[in-house]
A and B are shown apart, each in its own frame.
Chain A
């Protein structure tokens, strides 16, 4: 495929995403309004009177009709204005810019850990079915899925911070003695490196290790199982038998032929796991005081903070579109037989 063709197809895919994003904007708008609970009552504060609740309602623009509210929201959105989150008092854009990198940074590290453990484990289990490695893989996978994240998180804190004292205090992205690096990407580790500040880099990284492992353990399971399953399937196929019969080296058979062919379903799982991790690591964020996007969204939902919920869903939707596109492109790199059209 020619390069220009590829670009054209990527562009086409982005265009295709526009209707879904518009749909998401409309649906989120309606769904947030359908939430039980009245934000005006909530934000009027503890000593509210009928009059002060009404004042808040007017200032939030909630006394207008739904259509009018939507028109205001949509035209603000067109100008890149996501509105102000009433519960945190900051603009939603600011919140997303601050919190999304925190979540992404953690998720990337967790994913790295997850891949680092799950792939070798899955491959080993697939090459020796029903051996002790396979049983071990099964145990890890079952434990990973069945242990609730807050339990693993608290257990990690208890063991590595409280008892052994080798992990830093779970105080969020940086310990108290450090100041955050100048914000360039919003990823503390990368920003610290760009700034040439290795101390802060180390500090930021060490804060991330426990939460990343906690998050990673939970996502190990689908990855390891998918790796094992896909490998088993590929290993029993004809071309592997042929390769073996031709006397190819074991490692060549395993990695060059089998693994590469098993990679497609693994990649699909990876994409799913990634998006799942990003939105649903609320409990990890709570235990490790991580100022991420999950707890922001949950808090916003609880208090019916419309602008914040809408902003969060929109950001996630865009992220999903980009993620799926990236995965599709990676497919074509891994397996030239896959065309972008399919």
Chain B
């Protein structure tokens, strides 16, 4: 018997009351119309995004269970997909804010009548405590706050319960957008403080297991490694009340099983499947497949300048001419992305980012460049990829290996598992040729350069360094986009990226989500986790 039929029979029998031994989730007995069932490959490992070791799936807790001062507004893409607009902020727990004329202070007014789940009002004191926590705990939250020039507790002040002030040491275009990312959430500080101890002043142990927030959803159940269940917070004032009253997120490690669950109608939303599955489900026309290009993200090939041949710019360009772009895009990515090759000229026409690099597959040109560089006989190079991303990076490497052979370069493929990848690629930076998939949260080329192209940065696995890149990145990072200096500087920066190619972009990947046809309201965010607040489910 299918579950839906089963529930219908139950409904006819008068609900769960007739069969007292049945342990239904209460809303299930009423049907599944306002319950969203999501299947995902990985689940959260903490309820606290600011804890050390918190994984990416835990970001959804910060988004759905907590509020920030501000959120991003929504824009509609050409294909009808909703996407966050980081250039336009929307009030969330703060009702309004004012930036001082010199850009050095930002004053927030808290929303009247908004409360935490336990009924306590959300005050500026809560914000102060939460922000102090984020900059004091160290690790990821502290680094992320710093990206918006938020570094010390002294920068935050609660004037009274309704007024919160941020004092900046320098004006920074990233500060306000940085308040909308998942990290600067507002905790119920009075509740949290009750569970703080001398050893643990920020109540990390308590908040790790027990969320204390004001978000649109409350936690109903968390079975680590199995599922998270949210239920709607009916008193939520910081935005429009969600259309879904309960969300069940199940961890299903096998992508094939997730696909089967979606196709059988047991799941409403399926995440994290290989590009091939999304391409096939899309072709079937029975499901809504939403693919949004992941902002500020590129699937690319990194060339390590410490590897002797790659120290020569001509060799790097030769490699860029011998990548089988079209084949990779079709056979490894199943066209779930935007091509980043075949640009027209070495001088960029716009400051759009990411944009196609001026290379295409041209073996003759590659051979000529190798000859010019003195590598006519070719060379041997290890080509590495992260085993955790084998679904698309393995075919990509095989195709690449095949075409490098055509220009006399012998690549040997090395598969590197998860934790070792970070150490080998990012910390020791010892992989001569490797596949990269970095993406930045804030969508500016200078921000990407800050993480990837600047000397000694963690994600500069290419050991690339160029004094001009250093200079331009430092200058543009804090510059407003409207500054007349911004565009010429960025164009110069991009033309250096084009010419030096320490990084050969292939495509900008999509973040794909597969949903039943009756599900609407999916919105894409840079953190790549589901924001369940905007979902709606029509009855079938």
Contacts and interface: CB of A to CB of B under 8 A. Distances in A.
Contacts of A36: 419-420, 423
Contact of A286 (B253, B263, B418): B253
A59 B204 CA distance: 13
Nearest to A162: B260
Nearest to A169: B266
Given A48-B458, A287-B254, A289-B250, A170 B143 contact: no
29 contacts: A36-B419, A37-B417, A37-B418, A37-B423, A42-B419, A48-B139, A48-B143, A52-B139, A55-B138, A59-B52, A86-B52, A87-B45, A89-B45, A89-B54, A162-B264, A170-B252, A171-B39, A171-B250, A172-B251, A176-B37, A176-B250, A176-B266, A177-B7, A196-B21, A197-B21, A286-B254, A289-B252, A291-B225, A291-B226
Interface string A32-57: 00001111011111111100110110
Given A37-B423, A42-B419, A198-B21, A171 B3 contact: no
A18 to B, nearest CB: 32
A191 to B, nearest CB: 12
Given A86-B53, A157-B260, A47 B422 contact: no
Contact of A177 (B21, B28, B388): B28
A183 to B, nearest CB: 11
Interface in A141-182: 150, 154, 157-158, 161-162, 165, 169-173, 175-181
Given A37-B423, A87-B55, A177-B28, A49 B253 contact: no
A302 to B, nearest CB: 5
A161 B264 contact: yes
Interface residues of A, number: 61
B454 interface: no
B51 A89 contact: yes
Interface in B132-154: 138-140, 142-144, 147
B24 interface: yes
Contacts of A95: 225
Contacts of A295: 253
A66 B7 CA distance: 58
B313 interface: no
B294 to A, nearest CB: 13
A175 B251 contact: no
Interface in A86-124: 86-90, 95, 98-99
Nearest to B143: A47
B12 interface: no
Q: Which are the 7 A-B pairs with shortest beta-carbon distances? A: A37-B419, A45-B140, A37-B420, A43-B53, A89-B45, A55-B138, A169-B266
Interface of B: 2-3, 7, 19, 21-25, 28, 37, 39, 45-46, 51-56, 138-140, 142-144, 147, 208, 223-227, 248, 250-254, 256-257, 260-261, 263-264, 266, 388, 417-420, 422-423, 426-427, 451, 458
A287 B25 CA distance: 25
Contact of B257 (A89, A170, A173): A170
Contacts of A196: 21
A55 B139 contact: yes
Given A38-B427, A41-B422, A171 B139 contact: no
A200 interface: yes
B425 to A, nearest CB: 10
Contact of A200 (B7, B23, B227, B260): B23
A286 B225 CA distance: 12
Interface string A319-330: 000000000000
B265 to A, nearest CB: 10
A295 B251 CA distance: 13
Given A171-B252, A176-B37, A199-B21, A302 B140 contact: no
A303 interface: yes
A87 B261 contact: no
Contacts of B39: 171
Contacts of B388: 302
Given A59-B52, A169-B264, A178-B23, A52 B142 contact: yes
Given A89-B45, A157-B257, 20 more contacts: A42-B423, A43-B53, A45-B53, A47-B451, A56-B52, A56-B53, A56-B139, A86-B52, A90-B224, A95-B225, A158-B260, A169-B264, A170-B260, A173-B226, A199-B23, A285-B253, A289-B250, A289-B253, A291-B223, A296-B225
B53 A304 contact: no
A157 B253 CA distance: 14
Contacts of A41: 419, 422-423, 426-427
Contacts of B423: 36-38, 41-42
A271 B130 CA distance: 54
B52 A175 contact: no
